[in-house]
Amino acid sequence: MNGFSLRRTAAIARKEFRHLRRDRLTAGMIAGIPIVLTVLFGFAINTDVRGLKAAVVDQANTSASRALVSDARASQVIGSLVSANSPWEIERLIRRGEVSLGIYIPADFDARVAQNRRPFAQLLIDDSDPQILRTARGLENLPLQPFDQMRDGGTFAIRALFNPERRSAVFIVPGLTGVILSLTMVLFTATAIVRERERGNLELLITTPVSPLELMVGKIVPYVLIGYVQISLILLLGAWLFDLPVRGSLVDFYIASGFYIVSVLTMGLWISTAATNQFQAMQMTFVFFLPQLLLSGFMFPFDGMPRAAQWLAEVFPLTHFLRIVRGIVLKQAELTMLMADIWPLALFFAVMMTLATRRFRKSLD
Partner 1 sequence: MDKDTASDPAIQTQALTRRFGTLTAVDGLTLQVPAGSIYGFLGPNGSGKSTTIRMLCGLLTPSGGDATVLGIDVRRDPEAVKRNIGYMTQKFSLYTDLTVLENLKFMAEIYGMEKSAAQERIAVLLQRFALESMTAQLAGTLSGGQRQRLALASATLHKPALLFLDEPTSAVDPESRREFWEFLFEMVDDGTTMLVSTHFMDEAERCHALAILDEGRLVADGTPEQLMSELPAAVVEIQSAAAGTRAVREALLAAADIFDVAQLGSRLHALVDPARSQPIAYVESLLQPTGIEAELSVVAPNLEDVFVMATLHKKTEQAA
Where on the chain is the footprint of partner 1 (CB under 8 A)?
Answer: 1-2, 5, 7-8, 10-12, 14-15, 18-19, 22-23, 199-210, 362-365
Nearer to partner 1, 14 or 117 (CB): 14
Nearer to partner 1, 204 or 308 (CB): 204
Nearer to partner 1, 10 or 355 (CB): 10
User: How far is residue 365's CA from residue 356's CA, in Å, rounded to a whole number?
Assistant: 17
We find the least distance from the C-beta atom of residue 356 to partner 1, in angstroms, to be 19
Cβ partners under 8 Å of residue 122, min gap 6? 87, 103, 104, 105, 106
We find the least distance from the C-beta atom of residue 1 to partner 1, in angstroms, to be 7
* Alpha helices in the chain, H assignment, sequence order: 6-22, 24-39, 63-74, 87-95, 109-114, 130-139, 147-152, 168-190, 192-199, 201-205, 212-242, 250-274, 278-295, 307-315, 317-329, 339-359
DSSP code at position 121: S
CA 24 to the chain's CA centroid: 28
Cβ partners under 8 Å of residue 322, min gap 6? 175, 178, 296, 297, 298
We find the least distance from the C-beta atom of residue 202 to partner 1, in angstroms, to be 8
Nearer to partner 1, 24 or 118 (CB): 24
Q: Which amino acid is at 150?
A: M
We find the least distance from the C-beta atom of residue 17 to partner 1, in angstroms, to be 11
Nearer to partner 1, 92 or 362 (CB): 362
We find the least distance from the C-beta atom of residue 204 to partner 1, in angstroms, to be 4
We find the least distance from the C-beta atom of residue 282 to partner 1, in angstroms, to be 20
Nearer to partner 1, 49 or 192 (CB): 192
We find the least distance from the C-beta atom of residue 189 to partner 1, in angstroms, to be 18
Nearer to partner 1, 200 or 306 (CB): 200
Nearer to partner 1, 16 or 58 (CB): 16
Nearer to partner 1, 18 or 134 (CB): 18
Residue-wise DSSP of 158-194: ---SS-TT--HHHHHHHHHHHHHHHHHHHHHHHTHHH
Residue-wise DSSP of 317-330: HHHHHHHHHHHHHT
We find the least distance from the C-beta atom of residue 190 to partner 1, in angstroms, to be 19
**Cα separations in angstroms, 282 against 133, 188, 192, 359:** 37, 10, 11, 19
- Closest residue by Cα to residue 65 from 1, 9, 108: 108
**Cα separations in angstroms, 95 against 47, 63, 102, 128, 283:** 22, 30, 11, 10, 41
Collapsing DSSP to helix, strand or coil, 60 comes out as: coil
**Cα separations in angstroms, 209 against 3, 4, 212, 213:** 10, 11, 10, 12
We find the least distance from the C-beta atom of residue 6 to partner 1, in angstroms, to be 11
